[in-house]
Structure 1
Amino acid sequence: MSLIGRHGVLLVSRLERTQGVIATILKQDEQLILSRVVADGSAALACVFRDRPDLILIDMDLPDLMGLSALQLIMDHSPIPVIILSTLTSEGSAQTIQAMRFGAVDYFHKEMLVSGLEGEGVVTYFLERCKLAVQNGVKGVYPATTHPDGYMDSLQPGAPLINGALLQRRMDIEMHLRHAITKKEFNLVYQPVVDISTSCVVGMECLLRWDNVDVGFVPPSEFISIAEESGLIHEIGEWVLREACRQNRKWQLAGLPPMFVAVNLSRKQFNDCRLSGIIAAILQETGLEPNYLEIEITESLSVDARLAADTLGKLKELGLRIAMDDFGTGYSSLGYLRDLPVDKIKIDQSFIKGLQHGQVNAIIVSTMLAMANQLNLSVVAEGVETEEELQVLREYGCRFVQGYYFSKPVEVRHIEEMLYQLA
């Protein structure tokens, strides 16, 4: 029943609460129209042939696995994008994984939807997932995955390739991540930036860590992408900025040597028009002077140089310093140095490893240092682990380094002790 810019949605559920929640949410989007609500697969299939909806939502709380039966019936007769509404229980998770194997293109936690009615974040995320399902069709929202050893889950013919273990972990991470701040599960660790001419610490890069009692320690490489997709990255990023500034000011008040703290920005944070206002408010709240906060961006954030320059310009007006992280790993590094108000480049650790043995790396690093000197940019060499690497960098005129040679990222309680040792 696709009309211009509008998509019909069929809901398969017997629960009045689920029906009410879905109806309330879909009313908030003009593109998604709740066309009909039915209670079983046969009725759903009849509606598919009669109304031709663009998307089906199936509640996994239907008794006797009727939700899975409804999905399989629809996929056998008229494949159409289906999103599973699951519960965060072992049974609900198992049914969701099986549903993805039958042909569902996506899933969503019902608990998240109910709680999401209190705020716009979850609702917006759900509506975006619905539209993405319609756009992508039965080919699915998530790509096929395989086990590390190359084994791929056996599936029915024509079904999407889904690794049950990976999907289960993603579901768990997505649910628990939503409560990580309120449960105080996040933690910042800090890695020093050292001036090798004096062996003094001049700054700290803060790194986010998450340890949850149910899913265990989750590395940033795993949960940051989920936080970005779900929209949680704004709340998490603001927490990181506030905590880093608060901690740095606390060190200053304790009499430790003044130094900057560096915070990485994600793409969605960088593209948030509220960013400069949020940072200004945090600086005022914590009492930290702007010159002691450094914002790290990567080349991947700066696809549109004009928009990036505007955003960075507003941050520079606050008095912050801007560093380009992982410098040299992309294809637009030199162009960004020309177009963006950057104060510092951080040479990626891939160029530092084996520096004393790799002729190509040595040429690249020495060239970067010479160029930065001509452009009046500071340089930090990342990933320094050996005395040999440090010596080569010293010979090339690199002044600031960061890496395991001096310290791995450490907890706050070890910072003061470490500062005195490196002083």
Structure 2
Amino acid sequence: MGQTDRYGVLLVSDSKRSREVMKTILHTDSQLELTGIAEDGNSALICMLREKPDLVLIDMSLPELIGLTALQLIMEHSPTPVLVLSTHTSDTSIATIQAMRLGAADYFHKDMLVSGPKNDEMAAYFLHRCKLAIYNGIKGVYPAMGLKNQQLDANGSGSQLFNESLLRRRMDVEFHLRKALSQNEFKLVYQPVVDISTSHVVGLECLLRWNNPHLGQVPPSEFIAIAEESGLIHPIGEWVLREACTQNKKWQEAGLPPMFVAVNLSRKQFNNYLLGRTVATILIETGLAPKYLELEITESLSVDARLATSSLEELKKLGVRIAMDDFGTGYSSLGYLRDFPIDKMKIDKSFIKGIRHRDVNAVIVNAMITMAKQLNLLLVAEGVETEEELQILREYGCRFVQGYYYSKPVESKVIEEMLVHLI
């Protein structure tokens, strides 16, 4: 091919699944055309001589090193740029390949396209990478087209700007997230809920933490959203529930004071009609009494009201307590209290931080506390960090708080030390 308005692509793969996915994605782009498919290096060379593609996509999961052999043959016989589809090739390896050849080499996580659910953004990014590999591999084309600092949309028009570093980061996070459970990379930490009248711990909220050998500590604010988009939130959420219930039961069996542990539910977990069955199964498996499990939902959840009501009623029948987290941050707070069987309100920390008498937040918090009492709901103020904040909440009649004033989220061993003093 080699024309500036249309580019030929050769796919080297023996996977039917990979072929179908690549055909579908390439078909959506007017600048890229699949001109051939080969199953090994020799077939790839024949196709390259006949079709003269502008880019080679090579599936490194070919069995018995066929993929590596094919890559080596292409490197030795042609400067055609290569985009490696792999679940394991490192950036360092790609840099080595680039140093060994004239044509450009790039790398894309195969799992992101083939194993995961449909993701238009990821497919568009893949097409963008295909074209950048082509432009890098054709001498003089890349700078002449003025694309050095421009990102291309799926149609090659350049009208949609990609932040390549952010998309690459997202791709890497999702790739490693898929292996995090099997590699035991998750852990739970716990933040105490304290009765300010006694300064005793009365409950705990568990929080998920992820430490990956390649990415380091990844904040929940980053990986939870990716887990939801990729569908990984279901196995991860189930692990969190089971781990929290197991740990709580261990504390009780060790003779520590029994108390609830709260677990946050994501939007997709909450909208899953199997949620009640999953929770019931975990409670039976771990032997934890339902009254010691609290499930937190946020008012920012986008939910089907009928499904949500059914799910919550099923959970209530089990004896599990339901809390509304981040209360007051959205537009559905009062509607949720009216429509759903809520047991507890948790005032969002944004209302507590720097609170002072007679300011706007103080008036709102006071009204929330009064409303909770009138509705016979439990109430917890989140994010308490200072003595002044604590004192105002005490004066307004708030009994339970959570925040750095008493403790940051800590590991289970630290919690055990806290609870020992309550015996």
Residue pair 1:12, 1:59 contacting (<8 A) in 2 also: no
Identity of aligned residues (%): 60
Quick check: 188-197 or 352-361, which moved more? 352-361
1:15 aligns with 2:12: yes
Counterpart residue identity of residue 129, structure 1:
N
Counterpart of 2:223 in structure 1 is: 223
Q: CA deviation at 1:170?
A: 2.0
The alpha-carbon deviation at position 419 of structure 1 amounts to 2.6
Q: TM-score with structure 2 length normalisation? A: 0.73
1:381 aligns with 2:381: yes
When Rg is computed on C-alpha atoms for both structures, the one with the higher figure is 2
Query: Aligned partners of 2:322 and 2:79: how far apart in 1?
Result: 52
Q: Secondary structure at the match of 2:366?
A: helix
- The change in CA–CA distance for 1:167 and 1:91 in structure 2 (over 3 A counts) is farther
Q: Which amino acid aligns with 2:225?
A: S
Aligned CA distance change for structure 1 residues 156 and 172 (closer, same or farther; 3 Å): closer
Residue 64 and residue 302 in structure 1: after superposition, are their counterparts in 2 closer, same or farther (change >3 A)? same
> Is 1:370 matched with 2:366?
no
In structure 2, distance between residues paired with 1:91 and 1:221:
28
Residue 410 of structure 1 deviates from its aligned partner by 0.4
> What displacement does 1:310 show?
1.3
Matched-pair contact (CA < 8 Å) for 1:189–1:209:
yes
Question: Which residue pairs with 1:268 in the alignment?
Answer: 268
Partner residue, 2:172: 172
Q: CA offsets, 1:339-360, max 9 Å, x none?
A: 0110001000000011125610
Q: Counterpart of 1:51?
A: none
Q: Which residue of 1 aligns with 2:91?
A: 90
Change (3 A) 1:242 1:255: same
State the partner residue of 1:404: 404
Kindly indicate whether residue 240 of structure 2 is the aligned counterpart of residue 234 of structure 1: no
SS across alignment from 2:150: coil
In 2, are the aligned partners of 1:12 and 1:57 still within 8 Å (CA)?
A: yes
Distance 1:365 1:248 in 2: 31
In 2, the alpha carbon distance for the partners of 1:290 and 1:369 equals: 26
Distance in 2 between residues matched to 1:291 and 1:57, nearest whole Å: 59
8 Å contact kept, 1:296–1:322: yes
Secondary structure class of the residue paired with 1:300: coil
Question: Matches of residues 100-139 of structure 1 in structure 2 within 5 Å?
Answer: 109-110=109-110, 122=115, 125=117, 128-129=118-119
For residues 226 and 203 of structure 1, the distance between their equivalents in structure 2, rounded to whole angstroms, comes to 29
Change (3 A) 1:330 1:156: closer
Deviation, 1:89, is 2.3
Structure 1 stretch displaced more, 228-237 or 302-311:
302-311
8 A Cα contact 1:348 1:383, kept in partner: yes
Q: TM-score, normalised by structure 1?
A: 0.73
Unmatched runs of 5 consecutive residues or more in structure 2:
1-6, 29-33, 38-46, 61-70, 97-106, 130-147
Q: Deviations over 1:182-230 (max 9, x none)?
A: 1111010000001112221111000000001111000000111111111
Mapped pair 1:360 → 2:350: no
CA RMSD, 1 decimal: 3.8
Given residue 273 of structure 1, which amino acid in structure 2 is its aligned partner?
A: Y
Q: Shift of the alpha carbon at 1:139?
A: 10
Q: Is the 8 A contact 1:193 1:400 kept in 2?
A: yes
Structure 2 contact 267–303 (Cα < 8 Å) conserved? no
Q: State the one-letter code of the partner of 1:195.
A: D
User: Is contact 2:249-2:287 (8 Å) kept?
Assistant: yes
Shift in Å, 1:21: 3.4
Taking the aligned partners of 2:35 and 2:384, their CA distance within structure 1 comes to 61
Q: CA deviation at 1:305?
A: 2.2
State the alpha-carbon separation in 2 of the partners of residues 388 and 407 from structure 1.
16
* 2:251 matches 1:251: yes
Deviation at residue 416 of structure 1 after TM alignment: 1.6
Matched position secondary structure for 2:182: coil
Q: Unaligned stretches of 5+ in structure 1?
A: 1-9, 47-55, 72-83, 96-106, 117-121, 141-152
Contact 1:12 1:41 in 2 (8 A): no
Structure 1 partner of 2:305: 305
Q: Report the 3-state secondary structure (helix = DSSP H, G, I; strand = E; otherwise coil) of the residue aligned with 1:178.
A: helix
Query: How far 1:42 sits from its partner (Å)?
Result: 9.7
Give the secondary structure class of the aligned counterpart of 2:149: coil
Matches within 5 A, 1:280-359: 280-356=280-356, 359=359
Instruction: Write out per-residue CA displacement over residues 61-89 of structure 1, whole angstroms, 9 at most, x where no aligned residue.
Output: 77469998699xxxxxxxxxxxx945542
Residue aligned with 2:211, SS = strand
Question: What is the Cα deviation at residue 112 of structure 1?
Answer: 6.2
Alpha carbons of structure 1 residues 194 and 370: separation in structure 2 relative to 1, 3 Å: same
More displaced 10-residue stretch of structure 1: 392-401 or 167-176: 167-176
Q: Is the contact made by 1:41 and 1:69 (CA closer than 8 Å) also made in structure 2?
A: no
Greater alpha carbon shift after TM alignment, 305-314 vs 245-254: 305-314
With over 3 angstroms needed to count, the CA separation of the structure-2 counterparts of 1:186 and 1:210, relative to structure 1, is same
| 1:5-84 to 2 correspondences below 5 Å | 12-17=9-14, 19-23=15-19, 37-38=36-37, 59=58, 63=74
- The answer to whether the 8 A contact 1:295-1:322 is kept is yes
Report if the CA contact (8 A) 1:346-1:381 is conserved.
yes
Letter in 1 for 2:119: R
Judged with a 3 Å threshold, the aligned counterparts in structure 2 of structure 1 residues 40 and 220 are, in CA distance, closer, same or farther, namely: farther
Deviations 1:121-153 (A, max 9, x none): x35x1xx2269959x99999xxxxxxxxxxxx9
**In 2: Cα distance, 1:388 partner to 1:412 partner:** 29
**Contact 1:57/1:85 (CA < 8 Å) preserved in 2?**
no
Would you say the 8 A contact 1:12–1:40 is kept in 2? Answer: no
Question: What is the CA–CA distance in structure 2 between the aligned matches of 1:68 and 1:130, rounded to whole Å?
Answer: 27
| Paired residue secondary structure (1:401) | strand
